[in-house]
Amino acid sequence: MSDQLLTVNNLSVAFQSGSITTKAVNGVSFSLNKQESIGIVGESGSGKSVTATSILRLIPRSFAKITSGEIIFQGRDLIKLSAGQMRKVRGNDISMIFQDPSTSLNPVFTVGNQLVETIRAHRKISKKAAKQRALELLDLVGIPAPDKRITMYPHEFSGGMRQRVMIAIALACDPQLLIADEPTTALDVTVQAQILNLMKDLQEQLGMAIIMITHDLGVVWETCEQVLVMYAGRIVESATVKELYQRPLHPYTWGLLDSQITESQDSDAPLSSIPGSPPDLSYEVTGCPFVERCPYAEAICHQETPPLQQLADGHAVACHFQTGSNTLERKEHAYREGTFTRS
């Protein structure tokens, strides 16, 4: 209990559209210690963002619903909190930054206004004191001349500066946990590195935990200790970052790693990709959700869904052939086009 900050147990989220139910997140469990950072990786539609936004209960009420599970944060199940109690958690204990800072800041209010309102939503302090705190925060996230910047509107900032403002807003009330939903995707590559470094520095300085949602394994490598690989609404592999790079086990993770560009790569060689597309989650998936794209699939994979199995060293994987005595031989370039024909 002492070190544990967040435990997600068997979380499932469904989207309802007419008579069609889409199981966006299906039985996801993980836990996070204080000051730890965990990465959730996966392709678009894998359920990583939905998982993270469900923690703050920010999924659209009109069509999305948490169908099962619990989200224990500091001993309380967030799913059972009233709307008022939940509001006190948001922005105070857990805060969030979003993918595109140019759309997540309100264009018609100054950045100072948006900082001050967040501080005053959770702290009973005067406007003047809140403004002072806002100036400190802008300084903390590396915005030069905060006293001038504080009266400016978001459109007067560059993309990187806007994301710094978003981070300042997220940190306004010293949260225990920061959820970052693809925080660098909308930024220039050079700015991406600055923002990631800033987040790492601030984490060390302020001692918060981070959930980093990304499709970029490089980002996870730079910022996280733990990593969850999600596919079709499920966790298919979970390990420390180091372990995942040294000994990846799930064929999907292999595919992701193969798709990365390496320095030694011949610049003329085609980029490797995983053929096919994820299953449509509005239908019941039988067997392993990855089976249609897996070069190692066998008969059992079509019939039974492999559970996420803990291995001895804290590594977990959901594959029929990577548990116990079974092990798969990872083939070189298994996903290169032509080398893999569907069974």
**Taking CB under 8 A as the rule, does residue 74 contact other proteins?**
no
DSSP string, 216-274: -HHHHHHH-SEEEEEETTEEEEEEEHHHHHHS--SHHHHHHHHTS--TTS-TTSPPP--
Shortest distance, position 43 Cβ to other proteins, whole Å: 21
**Taking CB under 8 A as the rule, does residue 100 contact other proteins?**
yes
CA angle, residues 331, 38, 263, in degrees to nearest 5? 45
State which of residues 68, 70, 123, 153 lies at the interface with other proteins (CB under 8 A): 153
The first and second tokens of residue 66, run together, are: 């948490």
**Taking CB under 8 A as the rule, does residue 164 contact other proteins?**
no
**Taking CB under 8 A as the rule, does residue 103 contact other proteins?**
yes
**Taking CB under 8 A as the rule, does residue 105 contact other proteins?**
yes
Which residue, 91, 342, 41, is CA-closest to 218? 41
Using CB under 8 A, which of the segments 84-92, 187-195, 301-309, 319-327 binds other proteins?
84-92
**Taking CB under 8 A as the rule, does residue 171 contact other proteins?**
no
State which of residues 46, 104, 163, 214 lies at the interface with other proteins (CB under 8 A): 104
Shortest distance, position 108 Cβ to other proteins, whole Å: 5
**Taking CB under 8 A as the rule, does residue 133 contact other proteins?**
no
CB 92 within 8 A of CB 175: yes
Instruction: Report the site for other proteins in 30-59 (rule: CB under 8 A).
Output: 56, 58
Contacts of 301 (CB under 8 A, 6+ apart): 287, 288, 291, 294, 320
Segments of the chain assigned E as strands: 4-17, 20-33, 37-41, 64-73, 76-77, 94-97, 177-181, 209-214, 226-231, 234-240, 309-310, 316-317
**Taking CB under 8 A as the rule, does residue 88 contact other proteins?**
yes
Does residue 101 sit in helix, strand or coil?
Answer: helix
Size of the site for other proteins (CB under 8 A): 33
**Taking CB under 8 A as the rule, does residue 125 contact other proteins?**
no
Which CB atom, from 92 or from 272, has the smaller least distance to other proteins? 92
Which CB atom, from 146 or from 160, has the smaller least distance to other proteins? 160
Report the alpha-carbon distance of residue 41 to residue 187 in Å, rounded: 18
**Taking CB under 8 A as the rule, does residue 127 contact other proteins?**
no
**Taking CB under 8 A as the rule, does residue 96 contact other proteins?**
yes
CB 68 within 8 A of CB 108: no
State which of residues 87, 123, 200, 336 lies at the interface with other proteins (CB under 8 A): 87
Instruction: Report the site for other proteins in 241-270 (rule: CB under 8 A).
Output: none
Q: Please provide residue 302's backbone torsions phi and psi, each rounded to the nearest 5 degrees.
A: -80, -20
By CB atoms closer than 10 A (0-12, 13-18, 19+), residue 44 is exposed
- The footprint of other proteins (CB under 8 A) covers 56, 58, 62, 83, 87-92, 95-96, 98, 100, 103-109, 117-118, 121-122, 153, 155-158, 166, 169, 172
